[in-house]
């Protein structure tokens, strides 16, 4: 299961690299790439939110939440906690949302996600980051629309895209090096294997969407 999630991280990172290339092109007045940005953001949403975060929130996190290792102080993420404070993701997303009050809160994948939010679990940190990612996808979609209508309106879009990529890259690195390491040492191989089966079932139910992800990746890869 953890290897499956790590492989998804690599695929999300490839999409983020494509998104970064397109972000730098927004500054170029000879290029108007609103359609490319729209297509890339659409498949990032499919892969990151609808599949990857769905698996973490519905399959992995409920089991992690039962672990004493997590309850007794949580994973040793001190280094990442310091970086998180420095990057101040919370303030950035709050500021962006203040300017777009009609962006709605993300629906939870399952009920336990809501209860984790309520009881101050250490998992609240990655869950909040998932929510921020969802907000960014919506904020960026609005800004792409405006950029589509006015090619000179580039600055707000670039700011949001760079913040989104920064958040996602930080989140992926933190899970690879911290949260997933706790899961690997604390969960039995039987449990991990069963979770992998559930993850593959979810992939099968989204086979068409995954095909689209691959198509868009191939279209915009060099
Ligand atoms: Fe995550
Ligand atoms: Fe993840």
DSSP string, 15-44: HHHHHHHHHHHHT-TT---HHHHHHHHHHH
Q: Which ligand is nearest to the CA of 52?
A: 2
Per-residue pLDDT tens for 197-219?
999 999 999 999 999 999 999 99
Dist. CA 22 → ligand 1 center (Å): 24
The residue among 25, 17, 8 whose CA lies nearest residue 222 is: 17
Dist. CA 53 → ligand 1 center (Å): 6
Instruction: Walk me through the domains of the chain, giving residue ranges and CATH numbers.
Output: 2-220 (1.20.120.520)
Predicted confidence at residue 129, as pLDDT, reads 94
Q: Which ligand is nearest to the CA of 172?
A: 2
Model-level pTM?
A: 0.93
Residue matched to tokens 């001190």: 78
The pair of three-digit structure tokens given for residue 102, joined into one six-digit string: 């009609």
Find the mean pLDDT for residues 60-81.
Answer: 74
Dist. CA 172 → ligand 1 center (Å): 7
Predicted confidence at residue 81, as pLDDT, reads 83
Find the mean pLDDT for residues 62-89.
Answer: 78
Predicted confidence at residue 113, as pLDDT, reads 63
Dist. CA 173 → ligand 2 center (Å): 9
Q: Which ligand is nearest to the CA of 8?
A: 2
* Cα–Cα distance, 158 to 25 (Å, whole number): 10
Alpha-carbon distance values, 214 to 29, 44, 50, 107, 196 (Å): 29, 11, 15, 26, 21
Per-residue pLDDT tens for 15-28?
999 999 999 999 88
* CA torsion through residues 171, 172, 175, 178, sign: negative
Q: Which ligand is nearest to the CA of 1?
A: 2
Dist. CA 176 → ligand 1 center (Å): 10
Q: Which ligand is nearest to the CA of 113?
A: 1
* Cα–Cα distance, 159 to 140 (Å, whole number): 10
Dist. CA 145 → ligand 2 center (Å): 28
Q: Which ligand is nearest to the CA of 61?
A: 1
Dist. CA 215 → ligand 2 center (Å): 22
Q: Which of 78-82, 99-103, 170-174 has the lowest mean pLDDT?
A: 78-82
Predicted confidence at residue 14, as pLDDT, reads 98
Dist. CA 106 → ligand 1 center (Å): 14
Dist. CA 152 → ligand 1 center (Å): 34
């Amino acid at each position: 299961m953890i290897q499956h999630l790590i492989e998804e991280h690599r695929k999300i990172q490839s999409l983020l690299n494509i998104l970064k290339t397109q972000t730098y092109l927004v500054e170029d007045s000879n290029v108007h790439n609103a359609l490319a940005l729209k297509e890339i953001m659409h498949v990032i949403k499919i892969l990151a939110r609808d599949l990857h975060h769905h698996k973490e929130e519905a399959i992995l996190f409920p089991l992690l939440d039962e672990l004493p290792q997590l309850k007794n102080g949580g994973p040793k993420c001190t280094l990442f906690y310091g970086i998180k404070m420095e990057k101040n993701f919370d303030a950035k997303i709050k500021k962006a949302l203040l300017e777009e009050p009609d962006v709605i809160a993300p629906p939870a994948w399952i009920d336990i996600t809501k209860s984790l939010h309520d009881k101050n679990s250490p998992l609240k940190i990655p869950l909040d980051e998932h929510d921020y990612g969802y907000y960014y996808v919506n904020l960026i979609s609005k800004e792409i629309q405006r950029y589509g209508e006015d090619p000179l309106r580039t600055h707000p879009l670039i700011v949001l895209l760079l913040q989104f990529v920064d958040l996602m890259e930080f989140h992926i690195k933190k899970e690879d090096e911290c949260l997933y390491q706790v899961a690997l040492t604390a969960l039995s191989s039987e449990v991990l294997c069963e979770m992998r089966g559930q993850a593959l079932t979810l992939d099968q139910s989204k086979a068409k969407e995954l095909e689209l992800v691959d198509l868009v990746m191939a279209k915009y890869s060099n």
